[in-house]
Amino acid sequence: MSTAMASNGIQISDNKSQKPSSSAFKQQKLPSWSPILTVGTVLPTFFLIGVAFIPIGIGLLVSSNQVQEYALNYTACEQIVNKKPTGEKCSEVIGKDISANCECRLDFKLDEDFRRDVYFYYGLTNFYQNHRRYVKSRDDRQLLGEIKGSTECAPFDQKDDKWFAPCGAIANSLFNDTFIILRRATGIERSVPLMFSGIAWATDKNAKFRNPKTSAKNLSEAFKDTLPPPNWQTPVWNLSSDANNNGYENEALIVWMRTAALPTFRKLYGRLSHDKQDNEFNYVNGLPKGNYTLVIRYKYPVAAFKGTKRFIISNTSWLGGKNPFIGVMYIIVGCVCLLLSGIFVFIHKKFGKSTSEILNITQRTPYIG
């Protein structure tokens, strides 16, 4: 038993000892390793990092440069009526009436064959999908098959006692421009075959999005007591002509619901179907070079936040899409490490001491300035 005297003179007894236990952890007797950073260990480390990182960076950069990419900015494209331009931009048309239909056409030419699998993207700039309130404005339980949402979706949660399906600001701002690619050759113009399945992450499609369970034959019956989000012009059960790609399981919706980290981003729109082939148009090995026309059904407004829209054609490498940043950073880090190793060697040769001299320094070693 221990006693203590309080400030007012009253003795306080405490049966519990304040002494820590004699374990190795509490007594700080655990085995440890304290490396001594010497010239013999630091300089080779910097040199090896530089020698290893530079070839890796060059390989990554070469792989990224092998990815073919063609981007087409269509933000200010002109409205086409009966295949003739009206002189008015589609951005101005939908700015006056958001529900208006506006179509524009842009001709472009591919100077080389796009080999392997070809993917089509839409790109936006100055769109902040990473805003905190925007990212939180969704209900994951609803996307797993429920009809009712939650207050997290406010103000895009419900109207007239009916829930929006899906609810929230992310779903309400769904990208809804559509594209048709026409290939022109020998006086013939035909559409390029696109597929809209297999564009979403497998983990999202298989685990995070489910349609409501219903005994009805039509998916529309499951959503009969819901409303489409305010900015939508079609209900969720009719987003695609493919019956297996509708409702919450629509892959275009799933792609959009995975928010981007930066204000300039691209999202997968579709991919080239390599099955279709005939005498004039063959897509088995990729997208052939030649003359094309991009037909845009312009619906998505970007003028309000000073954004731009792009249509991107690209293939991939083993590393993924075109991204030179990783390769450049590897090369920069490798060059910096080689530079530092050279500087340290010079300093050591000019002013340094040998390893044995450093290890023999004690408290009584005289200081030589």
161 vs 281: CA distance, rounded Å: 52
Which SS3 state, helix, strand or coil, does residue 120 take? strand
Q: Residues 105, 54: one domain?
A: no
Please list, in sequence order, all residues whose beta carbon lies within 8 angstroms of the beta carbon of residue 14, skipping any fewer than 6 positions away.
Answer: 1, 2, 3, 4
How many domains does the chain fold into? Answer: 2
The verdict on residue 191 lying in a domain is yes
The verdict on residue 10 lying in a domain is no
Q: Residues 229, 347: one domain?
A: no
Q: Residues 142, 201: one domain?
A: yes
108 vs 15: CA distance, rounded Å: 87
Q: Residues 172, 265: one domain?
A: yes
Please list, in sequence order, all residues whose beta carbon lies within 8 angstroms of the beta carbon of residue 261, skipping any fewer than 6 positions away.
Answer: 129, 130
200 vs 249: CA distance, rounded Å: 10
108 vs 72: CA distance, rounded Å: 8
pLDDT tens across the length of the chain (369 residues)? 445 554 555 555 556 677 888 888 888 888 888 877 777 888 899 999 999 999 999 999 999 999 999 999 999 999 999 888 898 999 999 989 888 889 999 999 999 999 889 999 999 999 999 999 999 999 999 999 888 888 889 899 989 889 999 999 999 999 999 999 999 887 788 899 999 999 999 999 999 999 988 765 688 888 888 999 999 989 999 998 887 888 999 999 999 999 999 999 999 999 999 876 666 678 888 899 999 999 999 999 999 999 999 999 999 888 888 889 999 999 999 999 999 999 988 888 887 766 666 666 666 666 655
Is the pTM higher than 0.85? The answer reads no
Please give the residue range of the domain that contains residue 228: 69-315
Q: Residues 117, 264: one domain?
A: yes
Q: Residues 274, 352: one domain?
A: no
Phi, psi of 367 (to 5 degrees): -85, 130
The H or E element containing residue 143 is helix 140-143
Q: Residues 350, 221: one domain?
A: no
Q: Residues 90, 214: one domain?
A: yes
Q: Residues 331, 288: one domain?
A: no
355 vs 343: CA distance, rounded Å: 18
Please list, in sequence order, all residues whose beta carbon lies within 8 angstroms of the beta carbon of residue 157, skipping any fewer than 6 positions away.
Answer: 149, 150, 151, 163, 164, 167, 168
Q: Residues 354, 253: one domain?
A: no
297 vs 286: CA distance, rounded Å: 25
Q: Residues 222, 194: one domain?
A: yes
Q: What is the DSSP letter of 86?
A: E
Q: Residues 161, 222: one domain?
A: yes
